[in-house]
C-alpha cells in the first residue's frame, strides 16, 4: 500500500466511525447520564423539526418552479435565441444497460423518438454489457426499431473485467462514451457542441427535455463548467407499484427536488447531462466506483478547481418504481437500492484525498465547506432515524428511578411527542404535492386508488423504521470495513395497463 492508498483507507473509515460513534455515544449516555442524553435528544428533535419544515418549504418552492415551467416550449425558446445558434448543438444520449430487457429499454427509446427535439441532432448509444447473454439479441431488435430514428444510433458491448475496472455502470458508460467519441469524430462534430446525457435504462424523458437542456446550455455562463440535472420522478409504473415502493420513490424524488434548491450542495444524481467536451477532458466516468453519477461531478469540480456547478432543470425524467413480486422482496429490493445510493459515501475519501493532495487552486474554505456538506449529509442519513426511533426512548427505559423522578424524565416523552406531531403538518404538504406530480390515472384503474394513495401515507413510520437510516449505516460500515460494493442494478418490473 502506498501513502495515498493508506490515507484513502483512513478516510474510508471516518464516516462509519463517526456514525457508529454517535450512536454508541448516545446509547452510553442514556445509560450513564440520562439527563444529558435527554437534553441532546430534545435538541436533536427540535433541530429535526426545524430542518424538516425548512426543507419542506424548499420542496414547495421547487415544486412551484417545476409547475410553472411545465408547459414551456423550450425548443421554441431556443429558436428565439438571437445570440446563440441552437442548431449546432448535438445530443449524445447514453443508456448503460446490464440486465434490463426490451420491456424496459423500448419505452425509454420511444420517449426519445417522441421528444420535440430534432432527431437529426441526436446520437443514441445503447451500452450493453458483453457478459449479458441476451445483449446481442436485444441490440439487434432495438436497432431494427430505432436505428433510422436518430442521426446516429450505436449499440456498444462493454467487455467484462477490463484492467483497472470494477463491474460498475460507470465503466460501461465510459466504454460507450469512447465509442461515441470515435463516431462523432467520423462525423466531424466538435465535442464542444455535444451535450452528453447519461440515463438509467428505464429513463423516459419529457418531450421538452432536450429543448430545456439546450436552452440552459446556451444561456448559462460557463456552460462547460456545469452539469445539468433534471428532476427524477418515478412515474412510469407508479400506479401499479405497491404502496411501500411508491412512497419510497416519491420521497426520493422529493429529496432531489429539495436538493435542486440548495445549489451550493447540489451534486448530480442518477440521470443527468453535461458537456461532452468536459466529459472527455476530465477522463470520463469513474470505472471503478459504484456512485459514478456523483463522482463525475466531483471529478469535474476538481478539474475546474472548484469552479463547477450543477444547474437544476425544472423538467422531469421519469423512471420505474423498483418493486418485486411480494412485499418482502420489495423491501429487500428497496433496501439494496438505498444502500447503493448511500454508497455515495465513497465520494468522501475520493474527494478529501484529492483535497489533501497537490490541489492548492481551491481555497481552504471551499474545501472545508464541501467536505463538511458531504460528510454531514451522509452522517445525518445514517443516524437520524435511529436517534428519533430507537435512542429517543432510551433515557426513559434505561434512566432508572432517579431519572424518572426528574422533571425532564416526565417532560421528555411529552415534548418529543409534541414536536414530532408537528411533523404531521409537513407530512400533509408532502401528501398534497405527491398528488400534483402524479401522471394521469391509467384506464382500468379504479378511482378508489386515489383514496388508497392518500391513506397509504400512514405507513411512512414503518418505512422510516426500515429504510430511514439502516441502508446508509450499512453502506458506511461496509466502507469502514473495506467490504467494497459492486454495482448491482435494481430489478425493475414494468406492468402494462
Partner 1 sequence: MSIAQRVRAFLFYLSLSIFLIGLPFILSFALGYKFDPRTFKFTKTGLMVLKTQPQGASIYLDGKLFNEKTPTSINELLPARYNVRLELERHYPWVDSVNVERGKITRLDKIILFPLRSNIKHLNKYKISSFWVDEERERIYYINQEENIIYRSDLEGQSFKEIGILPKVSSLPKKYKISPDKERLLIFNQHQIAAAYLEPRNTTASTQAPFVLNYSDRKVCDVFWHSDSYHLIVITNKNIEVLEAKPHTEPVNLVNLNKKNIVAFYDDAKDTLYFMDSQKAADGKFYDNVYELELSSKSYSFQELIKSQDQ
Residue 31 binding partner 1, by CB under 8 A:
no
Report in angstroms how near the CB of residue 261 gets to partner 1 at its nearest. Answer: 6
- Closer to partner 1 at the Cβ: 61 or 166? 61
Write out the binding residues for partner 1, residues 209-268 only, by CB under 8 A.
Answer: 261-263
Write out the binding residues for partner 1, residues 61-100 only, by CB under 8 A.
Answer: 61, 65
Report in angstroms how near the CB of residue 173 gets to partner 1 at its nearest. Answer: 32
Backbone angles phi, psi at 298, to 5 degrees: -65, -35
For residues 123 and 416, give the distance between their C-alpha atoms in angstroms, rounded to a whole number.
55
DSSP 390: I
- Closer to partner 1 at the Cβ: 42 or 466? 42
Report in angstroms how near the CB of residue 64 gets to partner 1 at its nearest. Answer: 9
With CA atoms as reference, report the closest residue to 238 among 465, 15, 449: 449
Give kind and range of the element (H or E) at residue 226: strand 226-233
- Closer to partner 1 at the Cβ: 42 or 141? 42
For residues 340 and 486, give the distance between their C-alpha atoms in angstroms, rounded to a whole number.
9
- Closer to partner 1 at the Cβ: 10 or 402? 402
Here the contacts of 98-103 (C-beta below 8 Å, separation 24 or greater) are 98/129, 98/132, 98/169, 98/172, 98/201, 98/487, 98/489, 99/132, 99/489, 99/491, 100/201, 100/202, 100/489, 100/492, 101/134, 101/138, 102/138, 102/141, 102/142, 103/494
- Closer to partner 1 at the Cβ: 43 or 162? 43
- Closer to partner 1 at the Cβ: 177 or 387? 387
For residues 56 and 50, give the distance between their C-alpha atoms in angstroms, rounded to a whole number.
10
- Closer to partner 1 at the Cβ: 262 or 329? 262
Write out the binding residues for partner 1, residues 32-51 only, by CB under 8 A.
Answer: 38-39, 42-43, 46-47, 50-51
Report in angstroms how near the CB of residue 81 gets to partner 1 at its nearest. Answer: 20
Report in angstroms how near the CB of residue 41 gets to partner 1 at its nearest. Answer: 10
Size of the site for partner 1 (CB under 8 A): 27
Report in angstroms how near the CB of residue 46 gets to partner 1 at its nearest. Answer: 6
With CA atoms as reference, report the closest residue to 382 among 121, 5, 17: 17
Per-residue x/- marks for partner 1, 406-445, CB under 8 A?
Answer: xxxxxxx--x------------------------------
Do the bridges between strand 194-198 and strand 272-275 make them parallel or antiparallel, or are there none, so unpaired?
A: antiparallel
Binding site for partner 1 (CB under 8 A): 38-39, 42-43, 46-47, 50-51, 53-54, 57-58, 61, 65, 261-263, 404-412, 415
Amino acid at each position: 500500500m502506498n501513502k495515498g492508498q493508506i490515507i484513502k483507507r483512513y478516510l474510508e473509515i471516518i464516516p462509519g466511525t463517526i456514525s457508529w460513534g454517535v450512536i454508541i455515544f448516545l446509547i452510553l449516555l442514556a445509560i450513564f447520564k440520562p439527563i444529558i442524553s435527554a437534553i441532546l435528544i430534545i435538541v436533536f428533535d427540535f433541530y429535526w423539526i426545524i430542518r424538516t419544515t425548512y426543507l419542506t418549504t424548499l420542496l414547495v418552492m421547487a415544486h412551484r418552479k417545476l409547475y410553472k415551467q411545465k408547459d414551456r416550449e423550450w425548443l421554441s425558446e431556443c429558436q428565439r435565441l438571437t445570440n446563440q445558434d441552437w442548431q449546432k448543438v448535438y445530443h449524445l444520449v447514453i443508456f448503460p444497460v446490464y440486465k434490463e430487457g426490451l420491456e424496459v429499454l423500448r419505452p425509454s427509446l420511444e420517449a426519445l423518438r417522441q421528444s420535440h427535439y430534432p432527431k437529426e441532432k441526436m446520437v443514441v448509444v445503447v451500452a450493453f454489457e458483453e457478459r449479458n447473454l441476451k445483449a446481442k439479441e436485444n441490440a439487434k431488435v432495438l436497432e431494427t426499431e430505432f436505428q433510422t430514428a436518430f442521426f446516429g444510433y450505436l449499440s456498444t458491448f462493454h467487455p467484462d473485467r477490463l484492467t483497472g475496472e470494477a463491474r460498475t455502470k460507470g465503466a460501461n458508460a465510459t466504454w460507450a462514451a469512447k465509442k461515441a467519441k470515435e463516431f462523432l469524430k467520423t462525423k466531424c462534430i466538435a465535442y464542444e457542441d455535444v451535450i452528453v446525457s447519461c440515463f438509467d435504462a428505464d429513463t423516459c424523458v419529457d418531450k421538452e427535455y432536450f429543448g430545456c437542456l439546450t436552452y440552459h446550455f446556451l444561456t448559462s455562463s460557463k456552460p462547460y463548467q456545469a452539469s445539468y440535472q433534471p428532476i427524477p420522478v418515478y412515474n412510469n409504473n407508479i400506479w401499479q407499484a405497491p404502496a411501500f415502493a411508491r412512497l419510497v420513490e416519491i420521497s426520493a424524488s422529493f429529496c432531489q427536488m429539495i436538493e435542486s434548491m440548495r445549489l451550493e450542495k447540489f451534486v448530480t444524481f442518477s440521470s443527468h447531462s453535461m458537456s461532452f467536451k468536459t466529459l472527455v477532458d476530465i477522463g470520463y466516468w469513474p470505472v471503478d466506483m459504484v456512485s459514478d453519477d456523483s463522482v463525475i461531478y466531483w471529478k469535474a469540480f476538481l478539474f475546474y478547481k472548484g469552479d463547477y456547478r450543477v444547474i437544476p432543470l425544472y423538467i422531469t425524467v421519469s423512471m420505474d418504481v423498483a418493486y418485486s413480486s411480494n412485499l418482502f422482496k420489495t423491501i429487500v429490493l428497496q433496501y439494496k437500492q438505498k444502500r447503493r445510493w448511500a454508497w455515495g459515501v465513497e465520494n468522501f475519501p475520493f474527494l478529501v484525498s484529492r483535497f489533501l493532495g497537490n490541489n492548492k487552486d481551491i481555497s481552504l474554505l471551499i474545501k472545508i465547506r464541501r467536505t463538511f456538506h458531504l460528510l454531514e449529509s451522509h452522517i445525518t442519513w445514517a443516524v437520524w432515524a435511529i436517534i428519533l426511533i430507537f435512542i429517543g426512548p432510551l433515557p426513559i427505559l434505561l434512566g432508572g428511578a432517579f431519572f424518572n423522578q426528574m422533571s425532564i424524565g416526565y417532560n421528555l416523552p411529552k415534548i418529543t411527542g409534541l414536536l414530532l406531531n408537528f411533523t404531521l403538518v409537513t407530512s400533509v404538504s408532502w401528501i398534497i404535492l405527491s398528488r400534483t406530480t402524479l401522471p394521469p390515472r391509467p384506464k382500468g384503474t379504479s378511482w378508489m386508488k386515489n383514496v388508497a394513495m392518500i391513506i397509504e401515507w400512514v405507513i411512512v413510520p414503518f418505512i422510516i423504521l426500515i429504510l430511514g437510516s439502516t441502508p446508509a449505516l450499512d453502506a458506511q460500515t461496509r466502507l469502514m470495513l473495506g467490504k467494497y460494493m459492486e454495482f448491482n442494478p435494481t430489478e425493475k418490473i414494468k406492468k402494462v395497463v
